[in-house]
Amino acid sequence: MRIFDAFFRRGWGLGLAVLVWTLPPRLAQAQAPDSLAATIGRQLAHYGQQVLVEKLYGHLDRPTYTARETMWLKLYAVDGTYHKPLALSKVAYVEILNQAQQPVVQTSIALRDATGQGSLNLPASLPSGRYVVRAYTSWMKNFGPEFYFQIPVTIINTFAASGPAPAPAALAPDVQFFPEGGALVQGLASKVAFRIADKAGHGLAATGTVRDTRGAVVATFRTLKFGLGSFSLPPVEAGAAYVADLRLANGTSLTAKLPAVAAQGYALQLEDASATQLRISVAARVAGATSLALVAHSGQHVATAQVVRLDAQGQAVFVVDKRELLDGVSHFTLFNSRREPVCERLYFQRPRHPLAISAAAAKGQYGPRERVALHLATPQAANLSLAVYQLDSLTAGAAPVDISSFLSLTSDLKGTVENPVYYLRDSSQVGRAATDNLMLTHGWSRFSWRDVLAPRPPALPYPPELNGPLVQGRVRTAAGAPAPGIVAYLATPSRTVRFYSSRSRPDGLVQFELKDLYGPHQLIVQTNWRRDSTYQLELLSPYSTRYAASTPSSFALAPALTAALTQRHIQTQVQRAYFGTHAQYALPPRDTLGFFGTPAEQYRLDDFTRFKVMEEVMREYVMGVRVRLHKDGFHFLVADKQHQVMFHEDPLVLLDGVPVFNVNKLMAFDPLRIRQVAVVTNRYYYGPEVYEGVVSYRTYKSDLAGFPLDPRALLADYEGVQGQREFFAPRYETAQQQQSTLADFRNLLHWQPEIKTSAGRAQELTFYTSDQVGRYLVVVQGLAANGQAGSTSFTLEVKPTL
| Cross-strand pairs, 269 | 281
Distance between CA 584 and CA 73 in Å, rounded?
A: 16
What's residue 34's pLDDT?
Answer: 42
Least confident of 25-34, 280-289, 764-773: 25-34
DSSP string, 170-188: PP--EEEEEETTS-EEBT-
Backbone angles phi, psi at 38, to 5 degrees: -65, -40
What's residue 17's pLDDT?
Answer: 32
pLDDT digits (tens, 9 = 90+) for 16-38: 233 333 334 333 333 343 477 78
Give the predicted TM-score (pTM) of the model: 0.90
What's residue 33's pLDDT?
Answer: 33
Cα torsion 365, 371, 377, 382: sign: positive
Other Cβ atoms less than 10 A from the Cβ of 102: the count is 10
- What does pLDDT average to over the chain? 88
**Residue 585: pLDDT over 60:** yes
pLDDT digits (tens, 9 = 90+) for 383-442: 999 999 999 888 876 667 899 999 999 999 888 899 999 999 999 999 999 999 999 998
Confidence of residue 267 (pLDDT cuts 50, 70, 90): very high
**Would you call 344 helix, strand, or coil by DSSP?**
strand
Distance between CA 233 and CA 236 in Å, rounded?
A: 7
Other Cβ atoms less than 10 A from the Cβ of 581: the count is 9
- Look at residues 559, 629, 36 and name the one whose alpha carbon lies nearest to residue 291: 36
Q: What is the β-pairing status of strands 70-79 and 54-60? A: antiparallel
Distance between CA 461 and CA 466 in Å, rounded?
A: 15
Of residues 164 and 17, more confidence is placed in 164
Per the CB < 8 A criterion, the answer to whether 256 and 246 are in contact is yes
Work out the angle at residue 671's Cα, subtended by the Cα atoms of residues 666 and 674, and round it to the nearest 5 degrees: 90
- Alpha carbon dihedral 643, 646, 649, 653, in 10-degree steps, equals 100
Chain centre to alpha carbon of residue 546: 13
Q: What is the β-pairing status of strands 54-60 and 633-640? A: unpaired
* Amino acid making up residue 506: P
**Residue 11: pLDDT over 50:** no
Distance between CA 543 and CA 95 in Å, rounded?
A: 9
* Amino acid making up residue 707: F
- Look at residues 273, 284, 355, 344 and name the one whose alpha carbon lies nearest to residue 313: 284
**Would you call 390 helix, strand, or coil by DSSP?**
strand
Distance between CA 350 and CA 409 in Å, rounded?
A: 9
Other Cβ atoms less than 10 A from the Cβ of 116: the count is 27
Of residues 610 and 43, more confidence is placed in 610
Cα torsion 138, 141, 147, 151: sign: positive
Backbone angles phi, psi at 159, to 5 degrees: -90, -10
- Measured CA to CA in angstroms, residue 310 lies from 306, 337, 740, 793 at distances of 13, 11, 81, 51
Other Cβ atoms less than 10 A from the Cβ of 552: the count is 12
Cα torsion 694, 695, 700, 703: sign: negative
Least confident of 196-205, 298-307, 577-586, 790-799: 577-586
pLDDT digits (tens, 9 = 90+) for 682-736: 999 988 889 999 999 999 999 999 999 998 999 999 999 998 888 988 999 998 9
**Residue 487: pLDDT over 90:** yes
- Count CA within 13 A, CB hemisphere, residue 628: 15
Distance between CA 492 and CA 93 in Å, rounded?
A: 21
Confidence of residue 583 (pLDDT cuts 50, 70, 90): low
Other Cβ atoms less than 10 A from the Cβ of 533: the count is 12
Confidence of residue 470 (pLDDT cuts 50, 70, 90): very high
SS (H, E, C) 464-518: CCCCCCEEEEEEECCCCCECCCCEEEEECCCCCCCEEEEECCCCCEEEEECCCCE
What's residue 397's pLDDT?
Answer: 67
- Look at residues 466, 455, 447 and name the one whose alpha carbon lies nearest to residue 3: 466
Chain centre to alpha carbon of residue 698: 39
Distance between CA 704 and CA 669 in Å, rounded?
A: 11
Q: Is 483 exposed, middle or buried (0-12, 13-18, 19+ CB in 10 A)?
A: buried
Distance between CA 88 and CA 716 in Å, rounded?
A: 28
**Would you call 431 helix, strand, or coil by DSSP?**
helix
What's residue 170's pLDDT?
Answer: 53
Per the CB < 8 A criterion, the answer to whether 413 and 442 are in contact is yes
Confidence of residue 300 (pLDDT cuts 50, 70, 90): confident
Compute the residue count for the chain: 802
pLDDT digits (tens, 9 = 90+) for 644-655: 899 999 999 999
Distance between CA 600 and CA 621 in Å, rounded?
A: 14
Distance between CA 48 and CA 302 in Å, rounded?
A: 10
Helices (H), 647-686: 663-667
Q: Which residues of 685-717 are buried (b: 16+ CB within 10 A; e: fewer)?
A: eeeeeebbbbbbbbbeebebbebebeeebbebe
What's residue 25's pLDDT?
Answer: 37
**Residue 174: pLDDT over 70:** yes
* Amino acid making up residue 99: Q
| Helix, strand, coil percentages in the chain from 3-state DSSP, rounded to 5 | 15, 40, 45
What's residue 3's pLDDT?
Answer: 39
Of residues 554 and 322, more confidence is placed in 322
Per the CB < 8 A criterion, the answer to whether 94 and 73 are in contact is yes
Confidence of residue 123 (pLDDT cuts 50, 70, 90): very high
- Measured CA to CA in angstroms, residue 669 lies from 127, 635, 674, 707 at distances of 50, 15, 9, 7
Distance between CA 357 and CA 790 in Å, rounded?
A: 7
Percent of the chain clearing pLDDT 90 (strictly above)? 67
Backbone angles phi, psi at 621, to 5 degrees: -105, -45
So where are the chain's domains? Answer: 470-541+640-722
- Across 46-90, the runs of DSSP E, i.e. the strands, are 54-60, 64-66, 70-79
Mean pLDDT of 244-261: 94
| Cross-strand pairs, 506 | none
Distance between CA 145 and CA 639 in Å, rounded?
A: 54
Work out the angle at residue 243's Cα, subtended by the Cα atoms of residues 238 and 248, and round it to the nearest 5 degrees: 155
